[in-house]
Structure 1
Amino acid sequence: MGKFSNDARQLLEYVGGKENIAAVSHCATRMRFVLRDTKKADVKKIEEMKVVKGTFTQAGQFQVIIGNEVSTFYNDFMEVSGIDGVSKEEVKAAAKNNMNFLQRLLANLAEIFAPLIPALVVGGLILGFRNVIGDIKLLEGGTKTLTQVSQFWSGVHSFLWLIGEAIFFFLPVGITWSISKKMGTTQILGIVLGITLVSPQLLNAYAVAGAKEIPVWNFGFAKVQMIGYQAQVIPAMLAGFLLAILEKNVRRIVPEYISMILVPFLALVPTVLIAHTVLGPIGWKIGAAISSVVYASLTSSVKWLFAAVFGFTYAPLVITGLHHMTNAIDLQLMGQFGGTNLWPMIALSNIAQGSAVLAIIYLHRKDEEEKQISIPATISCYLGVTEPAMFGINLKYAYPFLAAMIGSSIAAVISVGSGVMANSIGVGGIPGILSIKPQNMPMFAVAMLVAIVVPFILTIIFNKRKVALNSTEC
């Protein structure tokens, strides 16, 4: 008998039995179920189980938070249930039957950017570190940077750009690869397509505005501008989807015995041509328009209002899955303006949720059983993973969730009001300060302090005044 065999039997019963499970898998902390009838799941009984730290439904999946031992629990569950396990990708595919059009669209967007996030986080930290050693004048009476007085750090500064450039300048390669992977088409073709968008043969995207003359491919009857799309998101997405669509359709009509020759040729060549003549220019304008609107909102006379609303509503967006759309906007802002003032608010929202749980730890300091959920949830939240905190504690009591939203809103106003900008997406919690531009770090630290203190105090005040908001607290 496994460690969690009894708990697994209980969970199997409470989700409606084996016949109600269309697919099941797990991630780092959660069991992920696709249920045939979600109404058959007894959420109340599931959440009363000691091993369960919370539940929520997202992206067509009923997810049960187990914690770090989820892999062991999953193995015991599979044994007692007799269900054949499937991969996370198969669970996601099955879950889409439970989604509406908008949910499927957002799920697809999330699946494109999720594989890129580790690289983006590393890139953000690298750019932040380069700025600290290369831009902040800390030495010789505040007149010189570390790279100006040390050959070693100068070499480090130069070397790290190799990685930063690979991540951000060549981002379209990652996007087109990810789309090919997600669409089930030939991934190397996606990589090649991405390279054609950022080839050194092209005029760098950052040099277009100041170029006296743009080079062209001259076909006699027509000329095509040789413009690169370094760090551009939407042109890469449009090209990536076109390649996948063409490859799938060409594969249907080309005989199998010559498909290896004709399919790559007939899919890749037209896509590259259309990308540089139609999709690239259109995508550039769309991306520039979106990022300009967001940037204008964050720098206008009413930027405080935009920040207040975004800071207050970001956590609810996480529940719905709509927060995934911010990745594309962040990347577009980085490519157009050299940084993002949207992402710092996301990091502050995560910190605020963790601080609300910290207050619950204080209020329920004698509840040893709850500490097993709340303490790891707080640590996880401060490191950028909010689900255990939000679903395991804050939504359970409701008022801590509201306190965190208010604290996040105030912190966001401070961040945007003082012009805080991040180099890139980073670790979405306290370590996120390493991704902030050096000159903005002091004000971001102030905003972080607000995101820690305000939700903590408000949670205690709401508790004392019995702002239960349908909570389950006695």
Structure 2
Amino acid sequence: MKYDIIAAGILEALGGKENISAAAHCATRLRLVLHDESKVDQKRLDEMDEVKGTFSTGGQYQVILGSGVVNNVYAEFTKLTGSEEMSKDEVKSAANQKLNPVQRFVKMLSDIFVPIIPAIVAGGLLMGLNNLLTASGLFIEDQSVIEAYPGMSDLAAMINTFANAPFTYLPILIGFSAAKRFGGNAFLGAALGMLMVHPDLLNGWGYGGALADGEIPKWNIFGFEIAKVGYQGTVLPVLAATYILANIEKFLRKRIPTSLDNLLTPLLTIFITGVLTFTFVGPLTRSGGNLLTDGIVWMYETVGFIGGGILGALYAPFVITGMHHSFIAIETQLLANLRRRVDHLSSQPLLWLMWLKDQQLWLYYS
């Protein structure tokens, strides 16, 4: 293959070297940032046998060439453009400059939540497996599997514990990922998440009942009372708190002497962020997350399948534009609320009805 000819053809179809802002490659694709994508001769690229496909996403224009071919084409491509070889991260940074504020916000959510999706998927599938073992009448008439085979009850209990873990400690996962995305220390983000689900705090699942009974524990600091409530399964509180943590950490690192940086910066960062989280950030964002979830539930309960149809009709265009990543925070909050209700199911018909409605909501929403 004459890689120089292929590279020249691709470059000409892309509008010439004047239209190339940045270029890198991965295992199969050229990753390019163009000044003006309207100058791309898409028909010419489609007619090239060596080009297996093209697409534009996140400010990057990508040309699929295949493993092995892309390395050689990229080497010739950089010679023709007169540019130095760049890493994928450098190209991503250049691509981010082209995104508008809404696209940057969507990409931020994507960068935070996509890495933790496997943990959520694992928990959800284990939850489903537990339901198969404990659902009455699913495989055996008027009985669940564990009722018919009591020896499997501990297996179901173990699976349920495994399923709970990603949702119970969700703030730790989000704290780690978000701190990394916001430019802070990822382990400080994880420590903040641990602080928000510490066992000394009132479990977040029991917050509603404790609030109704007036039994919420509090710290009393010089007459100022702070609720000792955990944030198990929440999303918005840890997102906001981690953003504050990352900025406080960066602020302190610029001002604390190097000799004291490793001691004082983590100490002050965790302490200041922790106080702000339990006094202002947590309570406000907890209420905001509940309103967000209640709004989607209201749409389902008020307009039924029409609301589900509206969400379903809009979801595909959102996926095409990349906007669907902004729903991940909402979906994770809904999953956490569903987990909360499942944990409190009892023989009361009303609670079962709430659980069934949540399942129907997810059917429509998906």
> Under a length normalisation based on structure 2, what TM-score does the superposition of the two structures give?
0.84
Deviation at 1:207, TM superposition (A): 0.5
The answer to whether the 8 Å contact 2:24/2:87 transfers is yes
Which secondary structure does the structure 1 equivalent of 2:359 belong to? coil
Could you tell me how far apart the structure 2 residues matched to 1:62 and 1:233 are? 32
Higher relative contact order (CA 8 A, sep 6+): 1
Structure 1 stretch 156-165 or stretch 183-192: which is displaced more? 156-165
Superposed counterparts of 1:42-441, under 5 Å: 42-65=41-64, 70-82=66-78, 84-87=85-88, 89-140=89-140, 142-151=141-150, 153-211=152-210, 212=213, 213-300=215-302, 302-338=303-339, 421=359
Alpha carbons of structure 1 residues 319 and 139: separation in structure 2 relative to 1, 3 Å: closer
The answer to whether the 8 Å contact 2:25/2:74 transfers is no
Deviation at 1:95, TM superposition (A): 0.9
1:36 corresponding residue in structure 2: 35
The answer to whether the 8 Å contact 1:317/1:323 transfers is yes
The answer to whether the 8 Å contact 1:205/1:230 transfers is yes
Which secondary structure does the structure 2 equivalent of 1:421 belong to? helix
Deviation at 1:119, TM superposition (A): 1.4
Could you tell me how far apart the structure 2 residues matched to 1:6 and 1:137 are? 67
Deviation at 1:65, TM superposition (A): 4.9
Deviation at 1:285, TM superposition (A): 0.6
Which secondary structure does the structure 2 equivalent of 1:210 belong to? helix
Alpha carbons of structure 1 residues 136 and 58: separation in structure 2 relative to 1, 3 Å: farther
Deviation at 1:190, TM superposition (A): 0.6
Could you tell me how far apart the structure 1 residues matched to 2:179 and 2:277 are? 16
Give the letter for the 2:46 counterpart.
E
Could you tell me how far apart the structure 2 residues matched to 1:51 and 1:122 are? 39
The answer to whether the 8 Å contact 1:58/1:319 transfers is no
RMSD of the TM alignment (CA)?
A: 2.9
1:467 corresponding residue in structure 2: none
The answer to whether the 8 Å contact 1:339/1:422 transfers is no
Structure 1 stretch 15-24 or stretch 311-320: which is displaced more? 15-24
Q: What CA deviation, in whole Å up to 9, does each residue of 1:119-149 have, x standing for no partner?
A: 1122221111111122242344x12112223
The answer to whether the 8 Å contact 1:116/1:174 transfers is yes
Alpha carbons of structure 1 residues 210 and 91: separation in structure 2 relative to 1, 3 Å: same
Could you tell me how far apart the structure 2 residues matched to 1:13 and 1:163 are? 55
Give the letter for the 2:249 counterpart.
E
Q: Which runs of 5+ in 1 are unaligned?
A: 341-417, 424-435, 449-474
Deviation at 1:330, TM superposition (A): 0.9
Total equivalences in the alignment: 343
Alpha carbons of structure 1 residues 120 and 32: separation in structure 2 relative to 1, 3 Å: farther
Could you tell me how far apart the structure 2 residues matched to 1:248 and 1:132 are? 48
Q: Which runs of 5+ in 2 are unaligned?
A: 79-83, 342-355
The answer to whether the 8 Å contact 1:57/1:63 transfers is yes
Give the letter for the 2:23 counterpart.
A
Q: What CA deviation, in whole Å up to 9, does each residue of 1:397-419 have, x standing for no partner?
A: xxxxxxxxxxxxxxxxxxxxx95
Alpha carbons of structure 1 residues 299 and 59: separation in structure 2 relative to 1, 3 Å: same
Could you tell me how far apart the structure 1 residues matched to 2:304 and 2:52 are? 38
Could you tell me how far apart the structure 2 residues matched to 1:107 and 1:114 are? 10
Deviation at 1:76, TM superposition (A): 3.0
Could you tell me how far apart the structure 1 residues matched to 2:297 and 2:131 are? 22
Q: What CA deviation, in whole Å up to 9, does each residue of 1:32-63 have, x standing for no partner?
A: 32223323432222233345454332321223
Deviation at 1:103, TM superposition (A): 1.1
Deviation at 1:339, TM superposition (A): 8.5
Alpha carbons of structure 1 residues 48 and 306: separation in structure 2 relative to 1, 3 Å: farther
The answer to whether the 8 Å contact 2:174/2:193 transfers is yes
Alpha carbons of structure 1 residues 127 and 248: separation in structure 2 relative to 1, 3 Å: same
Could you tell me how far apart the structure 1 residues matched to 2:358 and 2:97 are? 41
Alpha carbons of structure 1 residues 73 and 169: separation in structure 2 relative to 1, 3 Å: farther
The answer to whether the 8 Å contact 2:127/2:163 transfers is yes
